[in-house]
Structure 1
Amino acid sequence: LPEFSFLCLNFTDSLHMANPSSRVVRQLLLPNKPISFFSHLCRHFKYPQSSQSLSLLRTFASSPSSSTPQEPDPIPLSLSSELLKNPDSEPLPISQRLHLSFSHINPIPSLVLSTLNLCPDAGRTVLGFNHWLISKTSFTHTDETLSYFVDYFGRRKDFKAIHEVLVNGVGLAGPKTLESAIDRLVRAGRPTDVVSFFQRMEIDYGLKRDKESLLLVVEKLCGNGYASYAERMVKNLAKEFFPDERICDLLVKGWCVDGKLDEAKRLAEEMYRGGFEIGTMAYNAILDCVCKICREKDPFRLHSEAEKVLVQMDVHGVPRNVETFNVLITNLCKIRKTEDAMKLFYRMGEWGCYPDETTFLVLIRSLYQAARVGEGDEMIDGMRSAGYGGKLDKKVYYGFLKILCGIERIDHALSVFKKMKEDGCEPGIKTYDLLMGKLCAHNRLDRANALFNEARKRGIAMEPTAYAVDPRYVKKKVKVVKSQKKRETLPEKMARKRRRLKQIRLSFVKKPKRMMRRAY
C-alpha cells in the first residue's frame, strides 16, 4: 500500500448487541536546563577529567539498527549448513565432507567463531569440525580458538566434548580456555567438578596450575554462591598456595553472596586472628548482605544495621569507596527510600568519593518510579556533565521508558524518547512497540500513528499489531433521552389558568413610569 494509517475497528455495535456488558474497542495497526542541580552538584563533587569514549554499537537484541543490516559471510553460512545436516543421512563423516567441499578455505579465528554462532544446534558434529581444523596445515589452534569450542559445548552442558577438545589441544590451552571451562562448570552447578578439574588440569590438559589460576577458580565459585567449596579447596591447598588477602576477601564475599552472614563474620574473625586484614570489597559484601536480610525481614532496621557495619569499617581503618555508597543507595532505593538515597548521594564528597554510572542510573530509576520526573531529568544531565554520558545507551533508555509508561507518564516518556534520539541512540522495535501500545491505551491514536510512520521511515520492520484501549480512556457515547410530553394533572392545569388570568388582568392596569419625579 502506498500509505499507512491506523484502522480503528470499533466492535462496539456488534458486541454490544450480543452482550451489552462487554464493550471492546481495539485498534489495528495496519501499514499505511537544570542549572540549579548542576551548581549544587558542583559544590559537592569535583569530577576528575575522564576521557571515556564508549562505543554505542552494543548489541541490543530488541533494537536493531536503522541502517540496512549487512549480509552474513557466505563461507560461515555454508560451513554451518553442512554442520547442521543429519549425520545419519550422510554417507561420509563430517570431517571428510568438509575436507572435500572446503579444502580451498584457510580458516581464521573469526571464521571459526562465526560458524559456531550460526549452528547452535549442531551438537557433537562440531567435534568433526574441530578435527577438520586440526588436520588443516594452514590452521593452528590458539588459546582463543580453543575457548570458542569450550564455550560452545559449555552452553550445551556437554562436558565430555569439552574434555575431548582440551585433550586434543594439550599445550595450546591458556588463560582464556581455563576461564571459559571454569565459568561453564560453575554456571552449570558443578562445583565438585570445578575442584577436581583444578586438581588434574596440569596433567590432563597442560594448563598451568598456579596462584593466579587458583584465584580465578575461587572468584568463580564465590561469585556464584559456592563459598563452602572454595573455602575447603583453599584450606586443602594452603601448603602449596598460601592464601593472600585477595583470596580471603573473595571467600568472605562468597559467603555473603550465598546469604550466610554468620559464616562471613566467622571467616572475618579467623582472618583477623590470623593476621590478615579485611579489605573494602569484603566489607561491601557484608554490608550488602546485611541490607538484603533487613529488606526481607525488617526494612525499618536497615539504617541501624548498616550503620553498625560502617562503624566497624571506621574502627578497623577500612576506607569507604564508591561501591560502598552504591550498595547503600541501591538498597535504600529498593525499599522506596529515595529521599534518604538522595541525601546520601550529596554526602559522598565528604568521604572523597565520586558517583559513578551505577550511582546515577540507580537514582534515576528510583526518581522516575517515585514520579519525581523533573529530578530524574536533572540527574540525567548531571550524569552527562560528570562524564558518564556514554553509558546512556539504548538499553538504559528503554528501562527509563518502561518505568515512565508503567506509572502512566506517557508525555514525559515521549520527551525522554526525544532525548534518546538526540543522544544518537537508535530506538528499535521494542521501544516503538512500548510507546505505541501505551499511546493506544490512552486513546491517542494520532500520536501512535506518527510513531509508526517514523519507525517505517527509519527502516524498522514494524509488524501490524492490535492494541487495546484502556476502558478509562474510551469516550463514552452520551445517550440522548427524548423528552415525552406528560399529561397535565388537574391541579397543575388550574394553577396554569390562574397564572394566565392574573397576567391578563394586570395587562389592563396602567403601570407607573419608573424614574419619573413629580415636578414642583
Structure 2
Amino acid sequence: MAVARLSAAALTRGALTPPCRRALCCSAAPLGAEMDAAVRDVVCSGSGSLDEVGGRLDRLGVAVSPALVGRVIDSCSEGGGAGSGRRLLRFLQWCRAKDPGALGGEALDRAIGVLARVGDLTAMRIVVSDAEKDGRRMAPETFTAVVEALVDAGKEDEAVRLFRGLERQRLLPERGASAGGDGVWSSSLAMVQALCRRGHAREAKGVVWHHKGELSVEPMVSIVERSLLHGWCVHGNAKEARRVLDEMKSSGVPLGLPSFNDFLHCVCHRNLKFNPSALVSEAMDVLTEMRSCGVAPAASSFNILLSCLGRARRVKEAYRILYLMREGKAGCSPDWVSYYLVVRVLYLTGRIIRGKRLVDAMLESGVLPTAKFFHGLIGVLCGTEQVDHALDMFRLMKSCDLVDTRIYDLLIEKLCRNGRFEIGRELWDDATKSGLVLGCSEDLLDPLKTEVFRPSCPAQRLNPQSYKRLTQRKKITAVGAKKNTAVAASRKK
C-alpha cells in the first residue's frame, strides 16, 4: 500500500509539472540545449502578449547569461517576422531587470542592429535610449545602421538629434587612438553619407559645417565632397551640384566616374523635366568635361542619356547616340543595357522591325544579353498587343538558353486572355517537359473559365499628321472649356 501511494504521488507530481520543465529534468547533458530551445521558442515564435513573455521566461527558471542572450538575438535575426522586434525588446528588458550586467556591449550592439534591420524603429529607440542612460557607447557599425534606418524611414531630423545628443554626452563611437580617438570624425562621416544617400544634402552640409575641424583633412575631405555632390544630385539641385563639382576641381579633389555620372544623371533628369530639347547638348558638354578631367566616359554614362531620351520619346537622337557607340566614335562600346534602352523606345513607338534588326545586330556583335533584357522587351511587346513579335522574341530567348518560369507565365496568360488557347497549351506543355513549375493556373487554358479580352472598338493607327491634328484639336477644346468656365464664373459674380 505504501509503495502504491508513493507511485501515485510520483505520477501526480509528474502530471502537474509543466512539459518544458519535465523535459529539462532528464539529464545534465541536454539541459543547456533544451533550455536554449525553450527560451528561443518563447521569445521568437511564441504566441501571446508581450507581458506573457516575461511570465513564461520566469516559469522556465532560466539563468541569464551573455551566451544565451547572443543566441536569442541570432534567432530573432533569422526569424525577421513582423513582431520579432517587439518580442526581442521585451526579452532585453526582462534580462535587464534580472541581471543588468548580463547584457554586454557586444550583445547590445547586435540587438540594436537586428532592430534596425527589421525596421522596428520604436523598439530601436528604446534600446538606444537605455544604452544612453547606462552610459554605453555603440560600435561604429551599429551607429551607422541606426542612422541609416532613421534616414531611410524619413526621420533625418531625428537622426541628427541623436548624433547631437551622443556628442553632448561624449558617447559617440570610438575607433581607437590611431584612428582619431573620440570618434567624432567617423560618426560625422557616417551621418553625412547616410543623409546624402537619400538626398538630404542641406542637412549633411550643416553637419559638415559644425565639424569642419575634424573633416578638413584627407581622406575625409574627398569623401565628404563626393558625398555632398551625390546628395545634391539625388535631391535634383543641379546648381548646387555644379558648385560642389567646381569646388572639387579647384581644390584638387580626385574626380572619378561615379561623381561625373551622378552629375550627368542630375543634369539629364532636370532637362527631361524642364527642357527636353537640351538633353543631348548639355549631356555632351558634361561628357566633354569628363574627358578634359582625365575621366573616360563608360557605357553607364551614355546609358543615363539614352534612358532620358527614351522617356522623352526622342527616337532619332537615341538611335544616333547608339550608332556612335557602335562605330567607336563615342569612346566606349555599348552594353546590353544600351541596346535595351534604344530597342525599347523603338517598340514603344511602333518601330518593331527596326528594333528586331537592332537586336540581331547586338547578337552578331558579340554583346551577350541577360534574361532581364528579354523580360523587358517581351513585356513591352505584350503590353502594346504585339503578341506575335513577342513570341519571336521568346524563340530568340530560348536560343540563348535564358528562358525561365516568369516569361512562360507572362506569355501563357497573355495568349489565353487574347483567345489563343492552342499556343498557350503548347507553351504550357513545353514548360512542363522542361521541368519548370509555372506560377499561373492551368485554368487559364480552359476557354470556359478564362474571360477573353474583346476590344470595344477597332484600333486606329494614326500617321504623324493625323496625330498632330488630333493633339491640336484637344488643345483647342481644352482652351474653349476654360473660357466657358471663366465666363460662367463672371456671370455668377
Q: TM-score, normalised by structure 2?
A: 0.64
Deviations 1:208-255 (A, max 9, x none): 436555444323212211010111211221111215233212212211
C-alpha deviation, 1:109, in angstroms: 7.6
C-alpha deviation, 1:342, in angstroms: 4.0
Which residue is 2:318 aligned to?
Answer: 341
Secondary structure in 2 aligned to 1:239?
A: coil
| Equivalent residue runs for 1:354-393 within 5 Å | 354-356=333-335, 358-370=337-349, 371=352, 372-375=354-357, 377-378=359-360, 381=363, 385-386=366-367, 392-393=370-371
Cα distance in structure 2, aligned partners of 1:77 and 1:402: 46
Which residue is 1:189 aligned to?
Answer: 154
Q: Which amino acid aligns with 2:261?
A: N
Cα distance in structure 2, aligned partners of 1:91 and 1:259: 48
C-alpha deviation, 1:402, in angstroms: 1.7
Q: Is the 8 A contact 1:330 1:362 kept in 2?
A: yes
C-alpha deviation, 1:407, in angstroms: 1.9
Which structure has the higher relative contact order (CA within 8 Å, separation 6+)? 1
State whether structure 2 residue 99 is matched by structure 1 residue 121: no
Q: Which amino acid aligns with 2:424?
A: A
After superposition, the Cα gap between the structure-2 partners of 1:270 and 1:459, relative to the gap in structure 1 and judged at 3 Å, is closer
Q: Which amino acid aligns with 2:155?
A: R
Q: Is the 8 A contact 2:86 2:120 kept in 1?
A: no
Cα distance in structure 1, aligned partners of 2:249 and 2:440: 61
Aligned residues with identical type, % of pairs = 26
After superposition, the Cα gap between the structure-2 partners of 1:199 and 1:146, relative to the gap in structure 1 and judged at 3 Å, is same
Cα distance in structure 2, aligned partners of 1:397 and 1:94: 55
Secondary structure in 2 aligned to 1:141?
A: helix
State whether structure 2 residue 453 is matched by structure 1 residue 470: yes
Stretches of structure 2 that go unaligned for 5 or more consecutive residues are 1-36, 176-182, 458-493
Deviations 1:154-186 (A, max 9, x none): 3556542452586699567342x3332222111
Cα distance in structure 2, aligned partners of 1:427 and 1:76: 43
Which residue is 2:415 aligned to?
Answer: 439
Q: TM-score, normalised by structure 1?
A: 0.61
Cα distance in structure 2, aligned partners of 1:356 and 1:98: 61
Which of 79, 86, 103 is the equivalent residue of 2:49?
86
After superposition, the Cα gap between the structure-2 partners of 1:330 and 1:188, relative to the gap in structure 1 and judged at 3 Å, is same
State whether structure 2 residue 425 is matched by structure 1 residue 449: yes
> What's the RMSD between the two structures over aligned residues?
4.4
Q: Which amino acid aligns with 2:145?
A: S
State whether structure 2 residue 395 is matched by structure 1 residue 409: no
After superposition, the Cα gap between the structure-2 partners of 1:121 and 1:111, relative to the gap in structure 1 and judged at 3 Å, is closer
Secondary structure in 1 aligned to 2:270?
A: helix
Which residue is 1:160 aligned to?
Answer: 125
Deviations 1:59-86 (A, max 9, x none): xxxxxxxxxxxxxxx9999567634432
Which of 332, 340, 353 is the equivalent residue of 1:353?
332
Which residue is 1:35 aligned to?
Answer: none
After superposition, the Cα gap between the structure-2 partners of 1:180 and 1:453, relative to the gap in structure 1 and judged at 3 Å, is farther
Cα distance in structure 2, aligned partners of 1:219 and 1:400: 36
After superposition, the Cα gap between the structure-2 partners of 1:336 and 1:469, relative to the gap in structure 1 and judged at 3 Å, is same
Q: Which amino acid aligns with 2:423?
A: R
Q: Is the 8 A contact 2:229 2:245 kept in 1?
A: yes
C-alpha deviation, 1:403, in angstroms: 1.4
Cα distance in structure 2, aligned partners of 1:164 and 1:312: 49
Q: Which amino acid aligns with 2:161?
A: S
Deviations 1:124-145 (A, max 9, x none): 22213456899899x9739666
Deviations 1:387-412 (A, max 9, x none): x65xx24x664433321211222233
Who wins on radius of gyration, i.e. which is larger?
A: 1
After superposition, the Cα gap between the structure-2 partners of 1:131 and 1:420, relative to the gap in structure 1 and judged at 3 Å, is farther
C-alpha deviation, 1:325, in angstroms: 1.8
Which residue is 1:290 aligned to?
Answer: 267
Q: Which amino acid aligns with 1:291?
A: C
Structure in which a larger fraction of residues adopt helix:
2
Q: Is the 8 A contact 2:40 2:75 kept in 1?
A: no
C-alpha deviation, 1:207, in angstroms: 5.1
C-alpha deviation, 1:364, in angstroms: 4.9
